[in-house]
Structure 1
Amino acid sequence: MTTSSPPHDLLPLAGDFDPRTRQDWTALVADVLNKRRAEGDRLAPDAAAEALVTALDGGLGTEGLYLREDRPLGVPGAMPFTRGRVVRDGTVPWDVRQLHDDPDAARTRAAVLDDLEHGVTSVWVHVGEDGLAATDLATVLADVHLDLAPVVVSSTTDQPGAARALLDVVGDRPTAGGNLGLDPVGAALRTGTTPDLGPLAELVREAGAHDGWRAVTVDARVLHDAGASEVDALAVAVATGIAYLRHLEAAGIDPVDAFGHVEFRVSATADQFLTAAVLRALRRVWARVGEALGVAETDRGARTHAVTSLRMATREDPFVNVLRGTLATFGASIGDADAITVLPHDTVAGLPERFSRRLARNTQILLAAESNVGRVTDPGGGSWYLESLTDEVAEHVWTRFQEVERAGGVLAALEAGLLREWVDTAVAERDRLVATRQRPITGVSTFPNLADTAAERRPRVALTTTDAAFAPRRDAAAFEALRDRARTLERAAVTVRTIGAQRDFGARQGFVANLLAAGGIATTDDTTATAVLASSRAQYGEHGRAAVEELRAAGAERVLVAGRAAELGDAADLVDGEVFDGMDVAAFLGDLLDRLGAPAEGDPR
């Protein structure tokens, strides 16, 4: 016996609620933000909504509210390919690709086999001066079933050698495909040399003789790691891809055929929605290029390989990198990356060990298989926020791309200094935000843990570069340099005291202690410490003066006062005062380390 539900209409869940508009929302925002504002300082509704806008790199921004908009969403596998190159296979959602750059061939061979036995689906080997020797590639891949696992190579110093070594390994054997990793512009950017596109056409032809093989990987990570915004890195990547197509056409290779050889490698950051928007926008822009070239619609979708950002990785408190990598992987997943690589959490310290490689690969295996993120194609499609952000990224990328083209193409733009200008501008603004902690780095500039330091790892070989190189530049480097300075001091510790009862000003005391730890400066109860920092939110006044004298009488050589400028009064005239709110934290900590390392007045040292 079977039963069926009686027919019924859809429940009008919102039927008893009055419709609300953006104006209603902005009025509510203004009410909240104006609660603590003086009568003459109140924000109008539009200004209140503007106050909730968050600025992102590259001229992007996120608003406080996104409302439904009627827009054609499209479908995966069709123009404009925003929603994915193909419909995702829920059983194999994306290619789990692990990076191997250990120059020890025996170690790398064992690591490759270990990864493939535990869930990795393709192998990425970095070859050259800062990786494996090309002559060792056959040894490293000896245990790999090339008909089951795709193999890709990359190189900064010897791309033709790496490509030919891989082709020699492949020979006439049946394979699952792979990529020769040719990107002469990216290599030149990284080393500060002149791009050599000479070997490109011949190797493209050789790769084309093997089913499932591509020759070119445009690596947008080079500029991103050097400090460029996501928009600028993507625009240069698109311009680079077009430069390769033009070069190959001049060498007699049809642009339609060359188009299929291009893959893009992009950085995935802890901003999960921006990462997804970048991948979606890249496919849209590259599909437009394919359309202009006359590529068949089914072949216009860009192949993408997302790699967790080196720029966001930290040396200190490295396990926080696991959280960053998880967010980045999630963003790459909802952005429908074809392949994802998670850099091990200890990659900054040196060559990763077996445990960190296991943790890296399991990050995406768990997301794909156990959280079911990988079972849906374009899970963010239709999100008013993600769709709007994708539009904004695509528009900004296209505008920047046109600037490169007006400069004569990517090679001419590089020679003219346009790319350097973009990177330097982005770095200067980001450094300001990081130094003032308006862009906090967990575990480094905020919530630092002095007991959890970098792991000891075998060092990588340093890459030979010129002064023109776009070298990787991690956001945490400035604070990590402060930590290194602190470790060289005989005593990098201060005592923190409050002006008034600790129960009243403990929050300020904790704030100061965490701020100091960002520079590697510990707190101590010893009142004879080289520097003593008295903190308070109260008026400085007589209580503050008395507290300073008491601390000096106890043996303190220097007294610093932490508080708000309006609350400190004339404190700075009485002591070595510093005001913390809105300050350049990195500069302050550097100055304090100078004081801790220098003898105080009257010190016989």
Structure 2
Amino acid sequence: MTDDIRALAGGFPALSPQDWRPLAEKALRGADFEETLSRTTVDGIDRGPVFFDRPEGAHAVDAAPRDIHLPWGMRQTLVEASPEAANAAALADLMGGVSELELRLDPEGRFGLKANDVDLMDAALKGVDLTLAPVHLDSLGGQGHHAHAFLTLMARRRVDGEQIEGGLGISPVERAARQGVALDDQCFPKAIEIAELAHAAFPNLKVFRADAALAFEAGGSEVQELAMMAASAATYIRLALKAGLGADAAARSVEARLVADTDIHLTIAKLRAARRIFARIAESFGASDQARRLSLHATTAHRMLSARDPWTNLIRNACAGFAAAAGGADAITVRPLTEAIGRPTPFARRVARNLHILLAEESHLGKVTDPAAGSYLHESLADALAQKAWALFQEIEAKGGLASALSSEWFQSEIAKSRRAHLNRYEAGTDQILGVTQYADPDPRAVETDGSWPDDDLPACALAPIRFAAQFEEAAQ
């Protein structure tokens, strides 16, 4: 008996498309082959129906072995307005199995935590051991101010010899685009100053966030999201180098945030493509092999959520969470099922964090380092995404980098085209939204929230987050 499973294929010749297609056409019983089976993404990437080989080098993804007990960082976002409420939610999340926290900081407390000084931030994190539970910042305004306050808090709590991880979430380019304002001339010098301070005191801290989720949540395509990640990462590695960090430390100072949605196979391919792209960028800056591995945070999509029937978001989150885990994300955030309508209750937070436990401990997704390796589908899609995203990244760089591409609104106009293409597919019925455009419940059961979001939304801009279901929900009322 052999230990080599490949021996099982002995005597069976490899099949080609010419062998398979006649059989498929016979099974279709006269239906058009291309119309029935062939699909493409919004970016024009071929999705099959079947792949018979892998592109050369497409399977070369640097996926580090996972911790058997904690295969990915289970990161939960705190959106409570007061430090007291945020602290109660943080402690409940940590006791319930979450391993990382993210503070969504809002100077006015409308869409997140109002903690504009170190004492308020300290109150929000009372009882949280920063050496055991990494904390990441997501500031809706005043990134530099919040970063300084957080560094002060970590210094206040630090014990000699202990290493503190987490992230400051510094992303001046994306924040300016999200708020629809011009990039301040002082943003980059401030970011360089923070990088210097953070690296000197806390070398394991992630300083910058390549927040490409912004492009996807505005309706962009997978290629546009990957290209934005690449351009953002290149921008922040350059800033880190200006701050005096070496090439390895500069590459490690960046965490990328991408989005996982219900398209499981495309999400897996996208995350694998992101690693290849970042590794090439880090290499070009002189980073060593060990420093070229991307720190990847995946969050389940906001744009896929339903407000009319929030219970269907449980299915969407399960699909997206599975894709993020199978795609090899280092940290995953599952959005509460109520996010489209209001702040989450303890129940909604518990359901979100329990999905991590189901994926890790019942589905055992963390048992395999790279479950998509060897899949011709995922490797072919990942290669195509990487190739197209790299070409778009080069185009962004030729326009002067991400800041220039956004300030000229060229990149926003490209994303608007993809957003329209997605909506056209939903309107034509080519793509469906479960519970909204397909199998809609005429009398959906209400979900309790901990208060609705403010009526006045975040500042309107070309990269504001959207929900594809919104226009169909309005039409159904």
What TM-score do you get using the length of structure 1 for normalisation? 0.72
Greater RCO (Cα-Cα under 8 Å, separation 6 or more) = 2
Q: Deviations over 1:227-284 (max 9, x none)?
A: 1112102201211221223334445544443222100011111111211111111111
Aligned to 1:316: 308
Q: Deviations over 1:131-165 (max 9, x none)?
A: 11223211110110112111111112121122122
Once the two structures are TM-superposed, the CA of residue 61 in structure 1 deviates from its matched residue by 2.7
Query: Which amino acid in the other structure matches residue 388 of structure 1?
Result: S
Give the number of the structure whose alpha-carbon radius of gyration is greater: 1
Aligned to 2:175: 187
Cα distance change, pair 119–10 in 1 and its aligned pair in 2 (3 A): closer
Which of the residues 93, 110, 114 maps onto 1:133? 114
Give, in whole Å, the separation in 1 of the partners of 2:307 and 2:5. Answer: 54
* Coordinate RMSD, CA, aligned: 2.3
Give, in whole Å, the separation in 2 of the partners of 1:388 and 1:326. Answer: 24
Give, in whole Å, the separation in 2 of the partners of 1:211 and 1:256. Answer: 11
1:191–1:464 CA contact under 8 A, matched in 2: no
Identify the range of structure 1 (252-261 vs 130-139) with the bigger mean alpha-carbon deviation: 252-261
Q: Does residue 120 of the first structure (1) align with residue 98 of the second (2)?
A: yes
Q: Does residue 474 of the first structure (1) align with residue 458 of the second (2)?
A: no
Query: Which amino acid in the other structure matches residue 25 of structure 1?
Result: W
Aligned to 1:233: 225
Give, in whole Å, the separation in 1 of the partners of 2:240 and 2:457. Answer: 29
Alignment map for 1:426-505 (pairs within 5 Å): 426-457=418-449, 458-461=451-454, 466-483=459-476, 486=477
Q: Deviations over 1:499-519 (max 9, x none)?
A: xxxxxxxxxxxxxxxxxxxxx
Q: Secondary structure at the match of 2:310?
A: coil
Cα distance change, pair 403–8 in 1 and its aligned pair in 2 (3 A): closer
Cα distance change, pair 150–363 in 1 and its aligned pair in 2 (3 A): same
Aligned to 2:68: 90
Aligned to 2:131: 147
Give, in whole Å, the separation in 1 of the partners of 2:4 and 2:283. Answer: 45
Aligned to 1:106: 84
Q: Secondary structure at the match of 1:199?
A: helix
1:226–1:472 CA contact under 8 A, matched in 2: yes
Give, in whole Å, the separation in 1 of the partners of 2:334 and 2:435. Answer: 19
Give, in whole Å, the separation in 1 of the partners of 2:229 and 2:456. Answer: 22
2:58–2:383 CA contact under 8 A, matched in 1: no
Cα distance change, pair 261–35 in 1 and its aligned pair in 2 (3 A): same
Which of the residues 15, 40, 48 maps onto 1:55? 40
Q: Deviations over 1:168-194 (max 9, x none)?
A: 221151354110110111111111012
Give, in whole Å, the separation in 2 of the partners of 1:9 and 1:125. Answer: 49
Unaligned runs of 5+ in 2: none
1:266–1:306 CA contact under 8 A, matched in 2: yes
Give, in whole Å, the separation in 1 of the partners of 2:5 and 2:49. Answer: 31
Once the two structures are TM-superposed, the CA of residue 358 in structure 1 deviates from its matched residue by 0.6
Aligned to 1:162: 146
Cα distance change, pair 71–241 in 1 and its aligned pair in 2 (3 A): closer
Identify the range of structure 1 (136-145 vs 18-27) with the bigger mean alpha-carbon deviation: 18-27
Give, in whole Å, the separation in 2 of the partners of 1:275 and 1:463. Answer: 32
Which of the residues 331, 336, 348 maps onto 1:339? 331
Which of the residues 39, 50, 53 maps onto 1:65? 50
Q: Secondary structure at the match of 1:120?
A: coil
Cα distance change, pair 12–449 in 1 and its aligned pair in 2 (3 A): same
2:412–2:462 CA contact under 8 A, matched in 1: no
Give, in whole Å, the separation in 2 of the partners of 1:314 and 1:409. Answer: 35
Q: Secondary structure at the match of 1:413?
A: helix
Aligned to 1:247: 239
Q: Does residue 27 of the first structure (1) align with residue 22 of the second (2)?
A: yes
Identify the range of structure 1 (100-109 vs 241-250) with the bigger mean alpha-carbon deviation: 241-250
Give, in whole Å, the separation in 2 of the partners of 1:112 and 1:465. Answer: 24
Q: Does residue 379 of the first structure (1) align with residue 363 of the second (2)?
A: no
Give, in whole Å, the separation in 2 of the partners of 1:480 and 1:49. Answer: 32
Aligned residues with identical type, % of pairs: 34
Alignment map for 1:36-51 (pairs within 5 Å): 48=33, 51=36
Q: Does residue 397 of the first structure (1) align with residue 389 of the second (2)?
A: yes
2:195–2:243 CA contact under 8 A, matched in 1: no
Q: Secondary structure at the match of 2:43?
A: helix
Q: Does residue 271 of the first structure (1) align with residue 263 of the second (2)?
A: yes
Give, in whole Å, the separation in 2 of the partners of 1:70 and 1:304. Answer: 24
Q: Secondary structure at the match of 1:54?
A: coil
Q: Deviations over 1:550-569 (max 9, x none)?
A: xxxxxxxxxxxxxxxxxxxx
Once the two structures are TM-superposed, the CA of residue 469 in structure 1 deviates from its matched residue by 4.4
Aligned to 1:203: 194
Q: Secondary structure at the match of 1:408?
A: coil
The number of equivalent residue pairs is: 462
Give, in whole Å, the separation in 1 of the partners of 2:465 and 2:196. Answer: 32
Once the two structures are TM-superposed, the CA of residue 13 in structure 1 deviates from its matched residue by 5.6
Cα distance change, pair 321–169 in 1 and its aligned pair in 2 (3 A): same
Once the two structures are TM-superposed, the CA of residue 436 in structure 1 deviates from its matched residue by 2.1
Q: Does residue 362 of the first structure (1) align with residue 343 of the second (2)?
A: no
Q: Deviations over 1:522-581 (max 9, x none)?
A: xxxxxxxxxxxxxxxxxxxxxxxxxxxxxxxxxxxxxxxxxxxxxxxxxxxxxxxxxxxx
Q: Secondary structure at the match of 2:299?
A: strand
Once the two structures are TM-superposed, the CA of residue 28 in structure 1 deviates from its matched residue by 2.1
Q: Deviations over 1:61-118 (max 9, x none)?
A: 31011114485576xxxxx5x241x211222211100011111222211110011011
Cα distance change, pair 435–140 in 1 and its aligned pair in 2 (3 A): same
Q: Deviations over 1:408-445 (max 9, x none)?
A: 11111112222122111001111111112211100111
Query: Which amino acid in the other structure matches residue 198 of structure 2?
Result: A
Give, in whole Å, the separation in 2 of the partners of 1:108 and 1:407. Answer: 42
Once the two structures are TM-superposed, the CA of residue 392 in structure 1 deviates from its matched residue by 0.9
Q: Does residue 293 of the first structure (1) align with residue 278 of the second (2)?
A: no
Once the two structures are TM-superposed, the CA of residue 126 in structure 1 deviates from its matched residue by 0.5
Identify the range of structure 1 (451-460 vs 178-187) with the bigger mean alpha-carbon deviation: 451-460
Which of the residues 393, 398, 402 maps onto 1:406? 398
1:97–1:124 CA contact under 8 A, matched in 2: yes
1:126–1:154 CA contact under 8 A, matched in 2: yes
Aligned to 1:262: 254
Cα distance change, pair 409–71 in 1 and its aligned pair in 2 (3 A): closer
1:413–1:419 CA contact under 8 A, matched in 2: yes
Give, in whole Å, the separation in 1 of the partners of 2:442 and 2:44. Answer: 35
Give, in whole Å, the separation in 2 of the partners of 1:455 and 1:30. Answer: 47
